[in-house]
Structure 1
Amino acid sequence: MNQTVIEFIEKGRAALVHDGAPPELQEGQALVETLYSGVTNGTERHALLTEHGFGGGFPGRHGYQHIGRVIDVRGEVLGLQAGDLVFCGDYIGHRGWQIVSDGSLVLPLKGDWPLPASALLGVAGVAIRAVRRMRVGIGANVWVVGQGPIGHFLGQCSRAAGAEVTVSDLLSNRLDAARRAGIETVLDASDPGVDETLAQLGPFDFIFDACSAPNLLDTVFARRLLAHGGCIGMMAVRREVTYPWGMLHAAEARIETSCHYDRGDLRALASLVRRGIVDMKPIISDILPISEAPGLYERLGAGDPNLIGIVFDWT
């Protein structure tokens, strides 16, 4: 069993650190050996570079996406048995093993699952929680601004809810991933005609900010892109949010945010993945052995535009 963990040891630098062997299990605990872990690009980059108030406590461990195999169980723990495949979504960083209990954020993975892509069920879980709690529904007109991991799955989950979905980004590889996932209206934000196209497609019932573009809310107001009674979902991390009062007042609109996910969100997501409605694979850009993690974080910290869906292989 791998006994290492990824630690952010100083600003901009990650290392593999020995984590020791698992302790003896207590009643009501299960030991899970990590097979794959997924990088949460935005959260981990912010923590690595101490952006937007994140991180700063070095060494630190960040991340919340593991696929693992149950090795041992003591008593009754979420119905788990040795040999079960599980997704673990607690915020513990990337590590070779973890001990889970009834209070852990665990989803048993029954049947066939796309591996290792399912290591990104966490970022997809963040997306489906936002879509559910902001009440995206059939016939809604949705614009997702930014196609990083969470933005990508906001598009897929909004479509699964019955919405008409438009996504945009500056990077061609992210736009290609959206097309592979079946999103029909995919816009290059660098296109000189994109503002006119958005005006024709809008107004939008839901606008998801998945990119932290500085002038996004001013643009939404100036171009009247938000529908009456609409919602702006602030998903990307910002230190603060300011907006033109008239953007919400005249439209009787709202701003909402959403954080993480729970077991109910994971179960809803699992149903969509099993039926092929949400596809975990199109976003995958890098599958790396865990030994290459320090170099990956150098690339992430430098803003490598080729990185989208990143999975570490611990096997």
Structure 2
Amino acid sequence: MKIDAAYYTGNGSFELRQVEDVPPGPGEVQVETAYCGICGTDLHVYLGHMEARIGDNRVIGHEMSGRVSAIGEGVEGFAVGEPVVVRPLAHCGACPACKAGHIHVCHNLKFLGLDTDGAFQNRWTVPAHVLHKLPAGMALDHAALVEPLAVAVHDVRRARVAVGEDVLVIGGGPIGMLVALVARHAGARVTVSEVNENRLKLAEDMGFATANPKREDVAARVMAETGNKGADVVFEVSGTQPGVDLMTAVTATRGRICMVAIHAQKPQIDMFRFFWREIELIGARTYEITDFDAAIAMLSDGIGVETLITEIRPLAELPQAFKALTENPNSMKTLIRVSEEAA
């Protein structure tokens, strides 16, 4: 039996191929991919920034949802047809981080869908232990956002956001908006700082206070609105130097800053502010098992991630979807409908 798979072939190109459907081996489960989102890392691949890592013959994609299609020897607890998502991390189990129980920041961490073939194919075979079951009836297009939502859950949990706190999210892209949703779910008052007017409008429509640093002094406004206290928690999700400048200027005494974005260049950081205000800087990378479970529960409760879905395209239009994302800064989350049968 043949399946459709979209291979990245280098130089911003994808090739749709029909390949053999390989059954799962011992300890593995094969998933029929329903939907897979295009994330920022996938865009870096498309733009040629990661070819030394992934080469020119790789199926990428990891923000997915689907249904179990085959079960390998020795795997228990799953049934064919069950809806699932994949937590796309592979840890070594032997490094100091793994031995301390922090497998999500393994020193030798591999990403399924980058370091191995991923979900832009009809059927994806993965280790059984990375699967998470979904509630029956959950919309699989919405469920494709479990993985990025788990990133936001981890960020908010690491930052210890509490009820009644003032939170500033710097950067209103997909991850920034998911962080805003989770922080609000935790009981915080959330403001989103963003320069793109369309994204600001979306944030406002979702019920968030917004600020545009191109039009106003965001730090002065936050100080005024918090009685000169500042933001209890700031999430830097912009990946820009102005975002870093704002995060230190606006954080309250003994406040927390959570670094979410990956910066292309080492940013300059005002360390004096950390001393004078006893600010805490927190790193947050990927997610843990509990974050995935919490993300599924929040999605089931209707946290509202579907608002971020800009469009859904079939697998055959994957090249056009990537091209459109690079040309349209207003787009939020594009999903690829990988298998009509699973969807």
User: TM-score band, normalised by the shorter chain?
Assistant: 0.7 to 0.9
Q: Cα distance, 1:164 vs. partner?
A: 1.2
1:296 counterpart SS class: helix
- What is the aligned partner in structure 1 of residue 160 from structure 2? 135
Question: Cα–Cα, structure 1 residues 83 and 61, in superposed 2: closer, same or farther, change >3 Å?
Answer: closer
1:6–1:95 contact (8 Å) kept in structure 2: yes
2:277 counterpart SS class: coil
Aligned residue among 227, 230, 233 for 1:206: 233
1:270 counterpart SS class: helix
Q: Cα distance, 1:178 vs. partner?
A: 2.4
Following the alignment from structure 2 to structure 1, what is the Cα–Cα distance between the partners of residues 206 and 245?
A: 30
Following the alignment from structure 2 to structure 1, what is the Cα–Cα distance between the partners of residues 294 and 308?
A: 20
1:288 counterpart SS class: strand
Residue 310 in 1 paired to residue 334 in 2? Answer: yes
Question: Cα–Cα, structure 1 residues 21 and 176, in superposed 2: closer, same or farther, change >3 Å?
Answer: farther
2:236–2:247 contact (8 Å) kept in structure 1: no
Residue 269 in 1 paired to residue 268 in 2? Answer: no
2:232 counterpart SS class: strand
1:3 counterpart SS class: strand
Following the alignment from structure 2 to structure 1, what is the Cα–Cα distance between the partners of residues 76 and 170?
A: 37
2:235–2:258 contact (8 Å) kept in structure 1: yes
Q: Cα distance, 1:235 vs. partner?
A: 1.1
Q: Cα distance, 1:129 vs. partner?
A: 0.7
Following the alignment from structure 2 to structure 1, what is the Cα–Cα distance between the partners of residues 317 and 334?
A: 12
Question: Cα–Cα, structure 1 residues 114 and 147, in superposed 2: closer, same or farther, change >3 Å?
Answer: farther
TM-score (norm 1): 0.88
Following the alignment from structure 1 to structure 2, what is the Cα–Cα distance between the partners of residues 287 and 243?
A: 39
Equivalent position amino acid for 1:83 in 2: G
Following the alignment from structure 1 to structure 2, what is the Cα–Cα distance between the partners of residues 269 and 44?
A: 21
1:20 counterpart SS class: strand
- The structure with the greater share of residues assigned to helix is 2
Aligned residue among 289, 295, 307 for 1:282: 307
Equivalent position amino acid for 2:15 in 1: L
- What is the aligned partner in structure 2 of residue 179 from structure 1? 204
Following the alignment from structure 2 to structure 1, what is the Cα–Cα distance between the partners of residues 247 and 305?
A: 30
Residue 229 in 1 paired to residue 228 in 2? Answer: no
Following the alignment from structure 1 to structure 2, what is the Cα–Cα distance between the partners of residues 160 and 78?
A: 34
Residue 126 in 1 paired to residue 125 in 2? Answer: no
Structure 2 unmatched ranges of 5 or more: 89-111
User: Structure 1, residues 112-137: CA drift from partner, whole Å, max 9, x if none?
Assistant: 22331221211111111111122111
1:118–1:280 contact (8 Å) kept in structure 2: no
1:71 counterpart SS class: strand
- What is the aligned partner in structure 2 of residue 37 from structure 1? 36
Q: Cα distance, 1:260 vs. partner?
A: 1.4
1:261 counterpart SS class: coil
Question: Cα–Cα, structure 1 residues 27 and 299, in superposed 2: closer, same or farther, change >3 Å?
Answer: same
Following the alignment from structure 1 to structure 2, what is the Cα–Cα distance between the partners of residues 63 and 81?
A: 24
* More displaced 10-residue stretch of structure 1: 61-70 or 124-133: 61-70
Following the alignment from structure 2 to structure 1, what is the Cα–Cα distance between the partners of residues 271 and 318?
A: 44
TM-score (norm 2): 0.81
Aligned residue among 232, 246, 264 for 2:272: 246
- What is the aligned partner in structure 1 of residue 171 from structure 2? 146
- The share of aligned pairs that are identical, in percent, is 25
Question: Cα–Cα, structure 1 residues 19 and 139, in superposed 2: closer, same or farther, change >3 Å?
Answer: farther
Q: Cα distance, 1:27 vs. partner?
A: 3.3
Residue 190 in 1 paired to residue 189 in 2? Answer: no
1:77–1:101 contact (8 Å) kept in structure 2: no
Question: Cα–Cα, structure 1 residues 74 and 186, in superposed 2: closer, same or farther, change >3 Å?
Answer: same
Q: Cα distance, 1:180 vs. partner?
A: 3.8
Following the alignment from structure 2 to structure 1, what is the Cα–Cα distance between the partners of residues 225 and 75?
A: 49
> What RMSD in Å do the two structures reach over aligned CA positions?
2.2
Q: Cα distance, 1:225 vs. partner?
A: 0.9
User: Structure 1, residues 65-104: CA drift from partner, whole Å, max 9, x if none?
Assistant: 1111111223553621011011123131322211133332
User: Structure 1, residues 215-240: CA drift from partner, whole Å, max 9, x if none?
Assistant: 2233344xx41111122211111132
- What is the aligned partner in structure 1 of residue 101 from structure 2? none
2:222–2:231 contact (8 Å) kept in structure 1: no
Following the alignment from structure 2 to structure 1, what is the Cα–Cα distance between the partners of residues 337 and 65?
A: 10
Q: Cα distance, 1:55 vs. partner?
A: 4.5
Q: Cα distance, 1:162 vs. partner?
A: 1.4
Question: Cα–Cα, structure 1 residues 65 and 77, in superposed 2: closer, same or farther, change >3 Å?
Answer: farther
